[in-house]
């Protein structure tokens, strides 16, 4: 276990999969300051230290949410409320954020231990920090889908829908590749959640029971987390695009 300042988290995550580190506690850089610093400190850091900050309760499940229009966000929130544990849901501006913000006070009370937060649309480096800070990430499209894999956290992909269900071919192909190294129960849980999250009613023999899929996914989070870290580590070992193109061109010229 190590304690890291938040601005150093990218470096920690880059090497974590190659170490025996199991837990990383992240604090804001300003929080490492003593209550009454005895040396000169930048005013910005002092202001950051005094800034009120919400802290999730111990054992809370932290979830980020970034989706397209048809994602069953409200069903997921209701499923979170039935987990019997604190859940924090953070949504950058977009479809999911609008749905969370529109829930009435009565709705929020019925959600029990679920806390919902809407944050501004984040630049890429800050969005990476959100992905690292959460236990499960719901992402969409291409960019956040790639960043979620690099983050090394369990995730669910909301793929962009295409005519005649063409997107299902892509989703199924990636799931088959991604779950190949998982134990059967965890692979089934991941597949069921992704299918339900992408409105499986469009395709026969595809799961649409989101609450059941979410419970099974959360129950196998330990296995899914280890797999996500291993997957991210393998991606880091691959050559970058420029190097791969050079190697391919060299092979063609031989």
SS3 letters across the chain? CEEEEHHHHHHHHHHHCCCCCCCEEEECHHHHCCCCCCCCCCHHHHHHHHCCCCCCCCCCEEEEECCCCCCCHHHHHHHHHCCCCCEEEEEECCHHHHHHHHCCHHHHHHCCCEEEEEECCCCHHHHHHHHHHCCEEEEECCHHHHHHHHHCCCEEEECCCCHHHHHHHHHHHHHHHHHHHCCHHHHHHHHHHHHHHCCHHHCCCCCCCHHHHHHHHHHCHHHHHHHHHHHHHHHHHCCCHHHHHHHHHHHHHC
Residue 23: per-residue pLDDT: 62
Threshold 0.95, pTM exceeds: no
Residue 125: per-residue pLDDT: 85
Of 8, 10, 44, 23, the C-alpha closest to 124 is 10
CA distance 83 to 77: 10
Residue 199: per-residue pLDDT: 78
- Residue 61 in contact with residue 87, Cβ under 8 Å? yes
Token pair recorded at residue 184: 């059967």
Residue 245: per-residue pLDDT: 84
pLDDT digit of tens for each residue in the chain (254 aa)?
A: 666 665 556 566 666 667 777 666 555 555 555 555 555 655 665 565 555 556 778 889 999 999 998 899 999 999 999 999 999 999 998 889 998 888 756 566 667 789 998 888 888 888 999 999 999 999 999 999 999 999 999 999 999 988 888 899 999 999 999 999 899 999 999 999 999 999 755 655 666 789 999 999 999 999 999 999 999 999 888 777 788 888 878 888 87
Residue 205: per-residue pLDDT: 61
In order of start, what are the domains of the chain with their CATH numbers? 1-53 (no CATH), 55-253 (3.40.50.2000)
CA distance 13 to 8: 9
Residue 27: per-residue pLDDT: 56
Token pair recorded at residue 26: 């992240």
Residue 104: per-residue pLDDT: 56
Residue 111: per-residue pLDDT: 76
């Amino acid at each position: 276990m190590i304690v890291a300042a938040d601005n150093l988290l990218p470096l920690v995550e880059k090497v974590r999969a190659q170490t025996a580190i199991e837990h990383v506690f992240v604090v804001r850089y300003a929080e490492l300051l003593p209550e009454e610093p005895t040396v000169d400190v930048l005013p910005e850091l002092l202001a950051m230290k005094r800034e009120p900050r919400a802290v999730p309760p111990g054992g809370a499940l932290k979830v980020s949410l970034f989706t397209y229009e048809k994602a069953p966000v409200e069903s997921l929130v209701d499923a979170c409320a039935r987990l019997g544990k604190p859940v924090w849901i953070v949504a950058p501006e977009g479809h999911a954020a609008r749905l969370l913000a529109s829930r009435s006070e009565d709705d929020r009370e019925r959600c029990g231990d679920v806390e919902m937060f809407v944050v501004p649309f984040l630049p890429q480096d800050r969005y990476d920090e959100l992905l690292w800070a959460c236990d499960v990430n719901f992402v969409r499209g291409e960019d956040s889908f790639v960043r979620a894999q690099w983050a090394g956290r369990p995730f669910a992909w909301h793929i962009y829908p295409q005519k005649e269900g063409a997107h299902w071919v892509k989703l199924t192909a990636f799931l088959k590749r991604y779950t190949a190294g998982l134990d059967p129960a965890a692979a089934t849980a991941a597949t069921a959640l992704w299918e339900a999250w992408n409105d499986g009613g469009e395709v026969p023999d595809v799961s649409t029971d989101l609450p059941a899929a979410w419970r099974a996914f959360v129950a196998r989070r330990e296995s899914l987390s280890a797999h996500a870290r291993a997957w991210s580590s393998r991606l880091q070992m691959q050559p970058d695009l420029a190097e791969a193109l050079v190697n391919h061109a060299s092979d063609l010229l031989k």
